[in-house]
Amino acid sequence: MVRRFNRTVTQRVGALDDSYLARDRPLAQARLLWEIGPAGAEVAALRTRLDLDAGYLSRLLRTLEGEGLVVVGPGESDGRVRTARLTDAGRAEWDLLDGKSDELAWSMLEPLTAGQRARLTTAMTEVERLLMASLITIGPCHPGDPRARACLRAYTRELADRFDAGFDLTRSSVEDNELVPPAGLFLVASISTETVGCGALRLHPGEPAEIKRLWVSGSVRGLGVGRRLLDELERHAAAAGAGSVRLDTNRSLTEAMRLYRSAGYREIPRYNTNPYAHHWFAKTLS
Amino acid sequence: MVRRFNRTVTQRVGALDDSYLARDRPLAQARLLWEIGPAGAEVAALRTRLDLDAGYLSRLLRTLEGEGLVVVGPGESDGRVRTARLTDAGRAEWDLLDGKSDELAWSMLEPLTAGQRARLTTAMTEVERLLMASLITIGPCHPGDPRARACLRAYTRELADRFDAGFDLTRSSVEDNELVPPAGLFLVASISTETVGCGALRLHPGEPAEIKRLWVSGSVRGLGVGRRLLDELERHAAAAGAGSVRLDTNRSLTEAMRLYRSAGYREIPRYNTNPYAHHWFAKTLS
DNA sequence: CGGAATACCTGACTATAGTCAGGAATCGTG
DNA sequence: CACGATTCCTGACTATAGTCAGGTATTCCG
């Protein structure tokens, strides 16, 4: 089933996509031109996005520059990073690619009835979301790692936005080394190079383990990432000998509370003095 | 929407697909090996399926032959056509690709919950079917053309199967030149090189035009091909000045009758002596 | 301020993909 | 059996993709 789908979509649509869009330009150049886009892009960003060798990318940029489609200028803040921008000619070329792309999309929908089109777009959205969900990997990470830091920044920003009283991470702080085995665990969820969620576990030998810092990026909410993080943390707690886990949460985090309840957590009385907590939950591990 | 989908699926999944499956072998070779398959394949078939230059394909086959994965032998009936078969080593290699392919499919589904998996496979099937529908093109074709012949053979075979009394095309025959402009029209529906449906129109100046030979392959039934053929024939009839169209059908063709009714046809009294007909329909063209 | 790291560039490659013209074997047809 | 058409092969190419080892600015960090 999945294989048939891959064949159909990548061969039929993908084949069109690539060679069709490239016009009479090498594919790599067309892709690069497209990726730079009207807003311009940093060379480093292009390299990771297209996964190209630095030398190869550099050469491609020289070619496009030679054709007068692109100019590569100095970076904004960091003098090492350079940014590529489209010239007017490059912008015209980009518009052309964009138009082709639209044309392609249209050619896919045009023969269908209105009902079929609606069904197709719904199904495509569904496939895209679920594929994205399936590409999200969850793994341990040191809380000092840049990926973890990025998550915690996003987490803090979100809580500060959503809590009536604002949020200051330092007031409920946990030391990094408490979230590193064997004392605890810090997990990040990522999709390729982008981190989209995190969760931490703190073990208290002889007492329930505690779940902290559970956060999922808005871009992937509803894809079950929170549930997966929670499962993984519980598994680790059980393996470390904890008989139960508990956690606290703020009353404004309604979707988190829904997750806890559906994952088998029961509300319990206050067990700590976290100034941001309104509800406390616990779950017995089997 | 469609563009986002293309990006996600072809880039993320497709990227895996190709390079991942190729192992340490050039992509073109891997694709060819895969396409030959355990059953073997004719070189000509490979050429059209992969859309490769004859010289290039020949060279690829020599390479695979050199590695002992493939043998190219003489064709079955036609001495010019040669068939490629996998050796034992080639078969082992193919199994490996097949395994990788399974692994890939599994890796896509594994992180999902049972519910998500079910939703994903449903959505994939839907996308695949509708994309296939959108790739079906309908166009005029001479009834003597091999594509038309293939359709008529399939049409005859199917009616012979389904009619209680069997079916003999010659007894309700229409001359080829009656289905060629300006006397009439013959349409075939095809997806890439495969023909999947047909329909014919016969014009009777001053009288209703007549629709004949409407057939849709079982492989694409339910995708609206019949409706599209019907629409196209009606459009042509109207353009040629016909005020209405009519047709006859056999009582065993229930899905065809459902199509006619939903397309605005009304049952009318017998208007011909076709021995296979039980029902007669007509539609006024606006 | 002096390494170490980072971001990018250049030169010198190899590998893969794809094209084209010409030729040999085979088939269908009159 | 002569003829053109078809199928495949070979040789001789070109173009594209990708790699790797230096080298030069710039920034970070103690």
Q: What is the CATH number of the domain that holds A13?
A: 1.10.10.10
- Which tens digit of pLDDT belongs to each residue from B191-235? 766 788 999 999 988 889 999 889 998 888 888 899 999 999 999
How far: A66 CA to C11 C1' (Å)?
18
Long-range residue pairs from A173-182, CB within 8 A, at least 24 positions apart, any chain: A174/A200, A174/A202, A174/A212, A174/A213, A176/A142, A176/A143, A176/A144, A178/A202, A179/A143, A179/A212, A180/A142, A180/A143, A181/A140, A182/A240
The pLDDT, as a whole number, for residue B3 is 65
DSSP-based three-state secondary structure for B269:
coil
Q: Does any domain span residue A125?
A: no
Per-residue pLDDT band at A173 (split at 50, 70, 90): low
For chain B, the domain total comes to 2
Burial class (CB in 10 A: 0-12, 13-18, 19+), A262: exposed
Least confident interval from A7-11, A230-234, B258-262: A7-11
Residues of chain B contacting residue A104, judged by C-beta atoms under 8 Å apart: 2-3, 6
Tell me which of B111, B127, B155 is where a domain ends.
B111
CA–CA–CA angle B24, B27, B29 (5° rounding) = 90
Instruction: Clarify whether residues A103 and A219 are in a common domain.
Output: no
Instruction: Clarify whether residues A140 and A61 are in a common domain.
Output: no
Structure tokens belonging to residue B206: 């001053």
Say whether pTM exceeds 0.85: no
Instruction: Clarify whether residues A106 and A166 are in a common domain.
Output: no
For residue A66, give Cα distances in angstroms to A30, A39, A59, A71, A265: 15, 20, 10, 9, 62
Radius of gyration of chain B (CA): 24
The whole-angstrom distance between residue B89's C-alpha and the CA centroid of its chain comes to 34
Instruction: Clarify whether residues A162 and A271 are in a common domain.
Output: yes
- Which tens digit of pLDDT belongs to each residue from A127-142? 888 888 888 888 888 8
Helix (H) or strand (E) segment spanning residue B194: strand B194-202
CA–CA–CA angle A185, A233, A271 (5° rounding) = 90
Residue A85 lies in domain:
2-113
Residue A24 has pLDDT above 80, yes or no: no
- Are B106 and B98 in contact by the 8 Å Cβ rule? The answer is no
Is B112 at the interface with chain A, CB within 8 A? Answer: yes
Q: Does any domain span residue B165?
A: yes
Phi, psi of A281 (to 5 degrees): -130, 155
- Rounded to whole angstroms, the Cα distance separating B87 from B74 reads 15
Q: Does any domain span residue B117?
A: no
Supply the CATH number for residue B143's domain.
Answer: 3.40.630.30
Instruction: Clarify whether residues B236 and B156 are in a common domain.
Output: yes
Q: Does any domain span residue A89?
A: yes
- Rounded to whole angstroms, the Cα distance separating B115 from B106 reads 15
Strand C proximal residues, A:10-29, Cβ < 7 Å:
none
Q: Does any domain span residue A120?
A: no
How far: A78 CA to C2 C1' (Å)?
21
- Rounded to whole angstroms, the Cα distance separating A66 from A22 reads 18
The pLDDT, as a whole number, for residue A266 is 93
Can you list the alpha helix ranges (DSSP code H) found in A7-77?
Answer: 15, 21, 27-36, 43-50, 54-66
Instruction: Clarify whether residues B76 and B152 are in a common domain.
Output: no
DSSP-based three-state secondary structure for B22:
coil
Closest of B254, B136, B145 to residue B196, by C-alpha = B136
Residue B4 has pLDDT above 80, yes or no: no
Tell me which of A81, A113, A145 is where a domain ends.
A113
Instruction: Clarify whether residues A102 and A181 are in a common domain.
Output: no
Q: Does any domain span residue B130?
A: no
Q: Does any domain span residue A150?
A: yes
Radius of gyration of chain A (CA): 24
Instruction: Clarify whether residues A36 and A163 are in a common domain.
Output: no
Q: Does any domain span residue A118?
A: no
Q: Which of B100, B107, B131 to mutate to test the interface with A (most CBs of A within 10 A)?
A: B131
| E strands in A79-176 | 82-86, 136-140
Among the partner-chain residues B101, B110, B116, the one whose CB lies closest to the CB of A130 is: B116
